[in-house]
Chains A and B, each alone.
Chain A
Amino acid sequence: MLHVEGVTVRFNGNAALDGVTLDIGDGEVVTVLGPSGSGKSTLLRVIAGLQHPDSGRVLLDGEDLASVPPHRRGIGLVFQDHALFHHRDVAGNVAFGLRMRGDSKNEVEGRVRELLDLVGLTGFERRSVATLSGGEQQRVALARALAPEPRVLLLDEPLGSLDRRLRDRLLEDLEKLFDELGVTALYVTHDQAEAFALGDRVAVMRAGRVVQTGTPDELWAHPEDEDVARFLGLGNVRDGAIVRPEAVRVAAAADGQPADGVVEAAVRHGPTVRLRVRLASGERLDAAVASLDHPGPGDPVTVTIDPEGIIELQ
């Protein structure tokens, strides 16, 4: 449905996007995952028509969008910090796109109510957007973008400015919403959990390039290279292979027994404890252990690796 082909954008000679190619099918949600500065937002701006690519093209349903200005593309965009219209109330924000496409007053009213129901803001019509909380503003931004039924919905780190708990809740809501509406969406984030939770497929971006695309399972099982594996937090990367922290067994070295390494740090991550072990070779290895009775920093330990937890990189 949406086809991005070899898009390159340069700012002052530096490539923000470097030959990005990406496909999104009808009704598919693709998440773009990458660290800040990897060109994710620029990609969305190119698709929306807010940024002219230096080369490459964007096709929507086979139509080249190069000469189509943003207001005729029918592509919705949810901005990072919302970019709401502060001079209009909630209803005025949601109604904007409907008015632009020439809906009648009654149609607009009905659709605004429908959208506010959908995002859980029933009765907020006359509220000033400035008085809303961050989460509520986010919902208004979403409703505003969805109202004119865009062919593709773009979301630029929509949950980026919210605190963790609110983010988790909105994430669930978004999942449900995308399912229900069957929207075609491109969702940009730097958060791996968000990307894996929402995306039918995930495109990993680095330095202006898409380095790997696949379903969350595919990425998890076969990361393209060490960098992707590291960025996804898959575990220890050594000698062209990934060693899952769960597969690393660590035990306190008995007296007199030669130790494989020394624990450098122990940090609790929820139910497991992450141990960082410095091996005799100087290499560092992360291990996830479940026990409450684990070795502490400075303890000499023995290390064994379960072969099941080793993934060879291509």
Chain B
Amino acid sequence: MTTITDPPQGAFRLSMLLNDTRYRSYTFQFIALIVLIGAIAFLMSNLFSNLAAAGLNISYQFLGTPAGYDINQTLVEYSSLSTNARAALVGILNTLLVAFLACVTATIFGVIAGVLRLSNNWLVSKLMSFYVEIFRNIPVLIWIIIIFTIMTAVLPGPRAFRGDNATSSMFLDAFAFTNRGIYIPAPVWGAGSMVVVAVFILSVIGVFAYRRYATKLLYDTGRLLPTGWPSLAILFVPAILVFFVMGMPIGLEYPELKGFNFQGGIKIGGPLIALWFALSIYTGAFIAENVRAGIQAISKGQSEAAGALGLRQGRIMNLVVLPQALRVIIPPLISQYLNITKNSSLAIAVGYADITATLGGITLNQTGRAIECILLLMLFYLTISLSISVIMNIYNNSVKLKER
């Protein structure tokens, strides 16, 4: 299309590279490319001459050599003879463990606090805004250290549980809160326990099937089936029945004080608790704000309209307000999950063996392979972040308001 404003199609002149908007962007990009290549070349030449001067090279062989250090909390088989790669794997699993636990509890805290902050009860809403302001405005590292201090300096040592006039006692004879960690009963899987587990999984599927059926029935015929109690019954009754029929194959192993320490049960170390709990309450405060904003974003007309249709308060929340609020809440919620994962790297401050503490801490210091370790570390976090953002984009596209 030719319009009056199009410049005359003359021969290409060199000055057009600067003065003609059609070509100027190529000039700028060319200059930017030269500058970029120059900067990278400068940094790389510095890197290689510095490495040569220090007698180092870039090599990932250290991953195959024995790590030579112990890790107190591992999810997989590990000893000090294992390789550095294995230590990094332990770290990755520990990072994912604490991030997962903290995401779950932070969501629970955040939803409760966010909903209660909107409550008409003055005292409760003030208490919740106090919680949110206190936890949002103090660095998470300080919270981690405060809770770690409670775990190590305030809780009693195992020796306080010993003797006839022990100063501390186990909670319900099953939980021991000590300065070496929290001991909880461990499940013991006897013969036939798999049957119980299988029945339980089937019940979970059954609950979903029942709810689908109830919804379908509602839409087809208008009959409303109760879902609350039947779901609970489907979930637990068969599993409990099978549990007793099979002769109680699943038992609990209680922690016991033997010698100087507790034996048996599952030990959750102080650093894990500190990190988990601190990340949960800190991020919970942010999630509470997201939840509050999401609920407030739904205009009052929506709940009034639902009320005018004759819905009860609970159904207004479940069927009208929450589905719309979730669209507002979930994207920031997922970015909070991302923050939890990234903040879990603060584990290094309390000695929890996550990926930053193993690969970026001890392995780095023992092998001196700073560049390799930090690059691998960043690669790990980048992978996690990018995969979470991909999931978030998919979700955002699926709930996007369908506009004409």
A and B: interacting chains: no
List chain A positions with a Cβ less than 8 A from chain B: none
List chain B positions with a Cβ less than 8 A from chain A: none
